[in-house]
Amino acid sequence: MIVMTTLGPGDTVGGGLGRAARVAVADVTDGQITSWTEVPVGWDSLHGEGTEGSHHARIATFLKEQGIEVVVTEHVGLGMQRMLGTMGLRLVQGAHGDARQAVVTAAGTASG
């Protein structure tokens, strides 16, 4: 299962999805992270740039290209929630603390 989480300081879950500076894309198999790639997405500085809807489109493109199935973050706005739902992605909000543990937990609840 491919899970993406926002990243904050250190190895913690970051704040909001739309303003994430970096994310991690993890492949989780049988409760174990088999790959972990940190990506400097720069959505924090890109938020508000471009035409209406372009920021969500930018994030949607990334999610599709990476094959993301589950998104883990502290919070997302209603518009982003709708977009993720339309894409058929599972959203885990309210995550905090160790990012790797949050990813494993999210993958376990998504598959079980």
Instruction: State the pLDDT confidence band at 87, using cuts at 50, 70 and 90.
Output: very high
- Class at the top of the CATH hierarchy for domain 2-111: alpha beta
Average pLDDT, integer, range 66-77: 97
Q: Which two tokens stand for residue 79?
A: 């518009």
Q: What percent of the chain has pLDDT over 90?
A: 81
Query: Residue 69 contacts by C-beta under 8 Å, 6 or more apart in sequence?
Result: 1, 2, 3, 89, 90, 110
